[in-house]
Amino acid sequence: MPHAAPGRLRSVVTGLGCYLPKRIVSNADLEKCLDTTDEWIVQRTGIRQRHVAAEDEPTSQLALLAAKAALADAGIAAADLDLVIVATSTPDYTFPAVAVQVQAGLGMTNGVAFDLQAVCSGFVFAVATADKFLTSGSHRRALVVGAETFSRLLDWSDRSTCVLFGDGAGAIVLEARPGQGTASDRGVLTSHLRSDGRHREKLYVDGGPSTTRSVGHLRMAGREVFRHAVGMVADVVTDAFSATGTTAADLDWFVPHQANKRIIEASAEKLAIAPEKVVCTVDLHANTSAASVPLALSVARDDGRIKPGDLVMIEAMGGGFTWGSALIRW
Ligand code: UT7
């Protein structure tokens, strides 16, 4: 009798949810207070509007509402989770972590909760991290959240950065389930993370508890970031294809970090991913950093594009630099 292929655990997406603050700021709104135009913003970035959190709406609140939506979608209770990871660069406080506030907000007293900071790549890094916990067998169900209030970090007099970002949160539930160890399995099939700290000056915040003792403002050499983005994204996506024996033709959906429509289109073109497979929500949300990928997943799942069994590539690149990809069979 031939042996069955040795199985392995997979981290399967069982729930997805998001939350966007009610206030929408359009490009036309920004034209009233900045030397900018809707035409410039749309042409250079694809952004048409962004959501901005209310003063009394901290990142943990956005994260908690997205988390509750994801749990309801998965049809499980908070007590069924044993791991919570929140990817954010805009925590309510220096500490404790947003993740423990989400844990408490969900009424969850078991398991472990912590934040992960990889700026715009945070959600991809958090998915990869949760996957390691789940597939090692140490944990069974993870909540992975990307949540940001970047509006709080912006220098609203700097037109080269403040038009680019928005606030929001998205979350998924991952559950360890047995798979065959093949690319036909449901779940996270592979993940590839990279960083290179030599690029820190190209995208950073000029404040923090151990330097200025304040929050600081986001600073970016946009053209420099742009110059590196496409190549870095292409590298980690290619790594994911190589590791799984898949190609761009096998993909159902490409769900990239939503920073700039031109970066998204150039990355897809370099990777030979057909334009109709590309999920682009930067027009609606602007760049929400760690929240951008789960927000885009939510839009594409809710409008019927992403369906169970689909092959979905997520990727991101951001401050650090950090960059990464994960290939998921939905
Ligand atoms: O999520 C993390 C990753 N971040 C990114 O991926 C962002 C990457 N970078 C970008 O998306 C683009 O570089 C930007 C959208 C930030 C800028 O686009 P660009 O085509 O690289 O423009 P630029 O920086 O080369 O600026 C072109 C011109 C400049 O004027 P001059 O010097 O040519 O006269 C800017 O002053 O556009 C001017 N400009 C603006 N004009 C109107 C910059 N911001 C604005 C603005 N409105 N908001």
Q: What is the DSSP string of 4-66?
A: PPPPEEEEEEEEEEEE--S-EEEHHHHHTTSS--HHHHHHHH---EEE---TT--HHHHHHHH
Number of domains forming the structure of the chain: 2
What are the pLDDT digits (tens) for 248-274? 999 999 999 999 999 999 999 999 999
Gap between the Cα atoms of 87 and 122, Å rounded: 5
Gap between the Cα atoms of 270 and 148, Å rounded: 29
Q: Which of 226, 258, 267, 285 to mutate to test the pocket of ligand 1 (most atoms within 8 A of CB)?
A: 226
Is residue 240, in this structure, part of any structural domain at all?
yes
Ligand 1: distance of its center to the CA of 41 in Å? 9
Element (H, E) at 180: none
Is residue 291, in this structure, part of any structural domain at all?
no
Gap between the Cα atoms of 203 and 153, Å rounded: 12
What global pTM score does this model have?
A: 0.97
**Nearest atom in ligand 1 to 160's CA:** 44
Residues 36 and 123 in one domain: yes
Hey, whose CA ends up nearest to atom 16 of ligand 1? 222
What are the pLDDT digits (tens) for 147-202? 999 999 999 999 999 999 999 999 999 999 999 999 999 999 999 999 999 999 99
β-bridge mates for residue 255, sequence order: 314
Q: What Rg, from alpha-carbon coordinates, does the chain have?
A: 19
Q: Which of 178, 206, 222 corresponds to the end of one domain?
A: 178
Instruction: Give the dihedral of Cα atoms 98, 99, 104, 105; nearest 10 deg.
Output: 70
Ligand 1: residues whose CB is within 6 Å?
36, 40-41, 44-45, 120, 159-160, 163, 222-223, 225-226, 229, 259-260, 263, 287, 318
What residues are annotated to the active site? 120, 257, 287
Percentage of the chain exceeding pLDDT 70: 98
Residues 106 and 238 in one domain: no
Q: Which of 160, 161, 265, 317 to mutate to test the pocket of ligand 1 (most atoms within 8 A of CB)?
A: 160
**pLDDT range class, residue 6, cuts 50, 70, 90:** low
Ligand 1: distance of its center to the CA of 178 in Å? 47
What are the pLDDT digits (tens) for 82-99? 999 999 999 999 999 999
Residues 24 and 173 in one domain: yes
Hey, whose CA ends up nearest to atom 41 of ligand 1? 36
Q: What are the C-alpha distances in Å from 27 to residues 48, 283, 295, 319? A: 6, 10, 20, 24
Ligand 1: distance of its center to the CA of 40 in Å? 9
Could you list the residue range(s) of the whole structural domain that residue 65 is in? 9-178
Q: Which of 159, 178, 197 corresponds to the end of one domain?
A: 178
